[in-house]
Amino acid sequence: MEDKTIVMGVIGSDVHAVGNRILQEAFEKAGFEVINIGVLAPQEDFINAAVETDADAILVSSLYGHGEMDCKGFKEKCVEAGLEDIVLYVGGNLVVGKQDWEPVKEKFLDMGFDRVYPPGTLPEEPIADLKEDLGIEE
């Protein structure tokens, strides 16, 4: 497969580092070029990294419940930066408290994310989705 580049990181004031490291491992193993901007990452860092590396996708993680506030306007900022076509995923514990998943998913889809993953998703799922969305044949 041709090299596809993805930018990943943990957004906002979130410091959950472990899953992020494992996710990187998994995506690299799956053949992606991974730019991991780490935890405590503002929206700008994702977008700048994507512009600089001409990335194909941005994967946003949020584990601490503030995802809803942290992700506001993300898609718009991507468009402003010329990344209107970039594939945008988000996943994790996206809201405070246990809520029904469907409305949460809808909310983030409405915000412009292409795919939204609930807590406990294993890496295999977004990897398969990303291959499909980027038209990678194995």
- Those residues whose C-beta lies under 8 Å from the C-beta of residue 82, and which sit 6 or more positions away, are 51
From 12, 78, 89, 117, residue interacting with other proteins (rule: CB under 8 A): 12
Told to check if 106 binds other proteins by CB under 8 A, we report no
80, two tokens: 């402003």
Report the C-alpha dihedral over residues 48, 26, 40, 57, rounded to 10 degrees: 30
Count of residues touching other proteins (by CB under 8 A): 26
Active-site annotation holds for 16: yes
Told to check if 17 binds other proteins by CB under 8 A, we report yes
Residues in contact with other proteins by CB under 8 A are 12-15, 17-19, 21-22, 25, 38-40, 63-66, 68-69, 93, 95-98, 119-120
